[in-house]
Amino acid sequence: MVFISVDASEVHTLTLNLERAPERLKGNLDEVFKNEASALQRDMKRDAQNHRYLPDNAKGGGFARQMTAQKVGPLEHIIGFNKRGAGKLANIIVFGSVNNAPVYNFYGPLMRRTPFFVEHIARIAEDSIFSGPGEL
């Protein structure tokens, strides 16, 4: 008689890791989104600061001070200029008007941050999948 034994412990461990990965990923992504939202807001402020057409003044004005970031839900942030503080001028600065071209590249910081954001998410996803079965 021949007995065959197969060690499936690694397959079992991988199965547990894959089953728990979404839970770990969801928990880790909140911090990633928070960090990336802060970095994007910082880059947008830097681009708007002391712009040729958007000078900062001593009275607390300036377009850069109108940039805000707000968490509105899980993995959801709103980043942009405060319309209440900047008003119609902010719309003209960012989007232009019939008579004026935009003077601030609103999407520039987003385009520059996107590769870092995607890489950050990929790294977190990999860590979430391949961390041990007991780790959360």
Q: Is residue 85 part of a domain?
A: yes
**Is residue 63 over pLDDT 60?**
yes
Q: Is residue 40 part of a domain?
A: yes
Q: Measure Cα distances from 60 to 48, 49, 57, 118 in Å.
A: 14, 12, 6, 35
Q: Is residue 43 part of a domain?
A: yes
Task: Measure the CA–CA gap between 27 and 53, rounded to whole angstroms.
Answer: 42
Q: Is residue 135 part of a domain?
A: no
Task: Measure the CA–CA gap between 113 and 47, rounded to whole angstroms.
Answer: 13
Residue range(s) defining the domain that contains residue 35: 21-130
How many domains are there within the chain? 1
Q: Is residue 15 part of a domain?
A: no
**Is residue 82 over pLDDT 80?**
no
Q: Give the model confidence (pLDDT) of 89-134 as tens digits.
A: 777 888 888 888 888 888 899 999 999 999 988 888 888 777 654 4
Nearest alpha-carbon partner for 85 in 70, 99, 64, 106: 64
Q: Is residue 7 part of a domain?
A: no
Q: Bigger pLDDT: 120 or 81?
A: 120
Q: Is residue 14 part of a domain?
A: no
Average pLDDT over residues 40-61: 72
Q: Whats the size of the chain, residue-wise?
A: 136
Average pLDDT over residues 52-66: 64
% of the chain exceeding 90 in pLDDT: 10
**Residue type, position 3, single letter:** F
Annotate 14-29 with DSSP letters as a single string: HHHHHHHHHHHHHHHH
CB proximity list for 75: less than 8 A, separation 6 or greater: 29, 30, 33
